[in-house]
Structure 1
């Protein structure tokens, strides 16, 4: 998560020495220097994710309205080890979810992306190769989104409106670009922590102790070569059944947020 950077303190005022007054800058030069210094200070001022959410509430979402709806979301798909197992459970439970797709993986397993959409789920853009966005230039960042978008359009016939930054990480300039281009950034407010390879019981506990009205739950249906998502596979049916008993309905993110799935 990004942190607020402190602005550098102003240079201390000191008494003028004779040599200081030999070559005084003109008013125009002073104005240019002040503008340059202001731009440097603005570049150093980084907003936290919480501040970005407050500043861009229509573009950056972490939860839905406070009604008895819950959105299940699954990152890092497609993955032939785990994605089919998650899809099978969702089908058995009659639940639709939202899957955030990594472009490089979609390129390798287009059939799985097509299956996700065919079975009534929604897909979102999760970058091309899962970098930390704040480490990228704007050109690199936009390339991550657009490259993945083209791959997904070729497979599914639509360009996802929803973007989930890897690690939930995004800068203000990147967010502003997404807003201008008509995207929505969607993170989460319930984290299963399943990527840690934790047990079924731990995954379930992490979800059930924090899920509530309008919750967006983060889980994974794909991962690296050493990933162990058996905790998610084991917990998912019980989580769905217990939340249904509590009166919750499961919806896709576009339905929860009342937006289109495509741009």
Structure 2
């Protein structure tokens, strides 16, 4: 599974409010950028994976029932999701808060180590998962949810969505949302396009499924396997209030991603950053 490419400039620009319909509350959440759809990746997307299977619902663990982090200030009443013209890039500045995100999983080789590190620092993150991997590793998705992390939709088979017919885009997103809901009991409220490649139909279908689009401001480029120190340096050097960090827990050898998280997470904490997630 190929990785995502940086879709637009790293500094978020305009803060906007999430309007969720007449019956929903309005709360500031993420900022969007001004640039459009990113360039497509050099490598072709992978073929679709195995058919989904129904996983049983589960009871949340005591750990999940603990509060998120104290710096998770945003909460949105679920209502009608507006159709965006571009994805959210970052959180509006509120102190020194950042969001860690992990794409392409879950993966039995790397996801458990990432969960262990996050738990050790009592940090919550966002995991944008692929449906075909959830079909094979539903137990890992339940562990992610039980630890209080936010689960997002990263499509079923990680295709380049703008190249697909609208019916195929819907199948990629809807099938994944349905499997996530069957596995952990709640549907995803966030989605991220593979490769960061968005188009109008992707935004429309995502909104119809009740999801908001989220991109990123810091790309660790961990998919290139540049070395642990390079990943750590990129996160630490580009850290800023409101930043959203893109990493991966599947799609290749992610041992450097795990090792880097083990190093940069305490560095961010010592620098006064709070690692949080959006609440909807």
TM-score range, shorter chain: 0.7 to 0.9
Q: 1:231 aligns with which of 243, 256, 260?
A: 256
Which segment drifts farther, 237-246 or 98-107?
237-246
Q: Residues 183 and 169 (structure 1 numbering): CA distance in 2 closer, same or farther, change over 3 Å? A: same
Report the equivalent of 1:205: 233
Q: 2:274 aligns with which of 245, 249, 263?
A: 249
Pairwise CA distance, 1:237: 2.1
Secondary structure class of the residue paired with 2:127: strand
Which residues in structure 2 correspond to 1:35-54 (within 5 Å)?
Answer: 50-51=35-36
CA distance in structure 1 between the partners assigned to 2:194 and 2:146 by the alignment: 25
Bigger fraction of residues in helix:
1
CA distance in structure 2 between the partners assigned to 1:169 and 1:232 by the alignment: 23
CA distance in structure 1 between the partners assigned to 2:214 and 2:274 by the alignment: 19
CA distance in structure 2 between the partners assigned to 1:178 and 1:100 by the alignment: 14
Report the equivalent of 1:159: 187
Pairwise CA distance, 1:79: 0.5
Q: TM-score, normalised by structure 2?
A: 0.69
Which residues in structure 2 correspond to 1:1-263 (within 5 Å)?
Answer: 50-51=35-36, 60-67=87-94, 68-223=96-251, 227-252=252-277, 254-255=278-279, 260=280
Pairwise CA distance, 1:49: 7.6
Pairwise CA distance, 1:179: 3.0
* Runs of 4+ residues deviating >4 angstroms: 56-59
Equivalent pair of 1:49/1:170 in contact (CA under 8 Å): no
CA distance in structure 2 between the partners assigned to 1:208 and 1:233 by the alignment: 15
Secondary structure class of the residue paired with 2:238: coil
Q: Residues 97 and 123 (structure 1 numbering): CA distance in 2 closer, same or farther, change over 3 Å? A: same
Pairwise CA distance, 1:2: 11
Secondary structure class of the residue paired with 1:128: coil
Secondary structure class of the residue paired with 1:209: helix
Secondary structure class of the residue paired with 1:91: helix
CA-based RMSD = 2.3
For residues 26-84 of structure 1, give each alpha carbon's deviation from its aligned partner in whole angstroms, at most 9, with x where no partner exists: xxxxxxxxxxxxxxxxxxxxxx981479xx76872010111211100000111011101
Q: TM-score, normalised by structure 1?
A: 0.73
Question: Where do 5+ consecutive residues of structure 1 fail to align?
Answer: 4-47
Question: Where do 5+ consecutive residues of structure 2 fail to align?
Answer: 8-32, 39-82
Structure index of larger Rg: 1
Q: Residues 240 and 59 (structure 1 numbering): CA distance in 2 closer, same or farther, change over 3 Å? A: same
Matched residues, number: 206
Equivalent pair of 2:37/2:198 in contact (CA under 8 Å): no
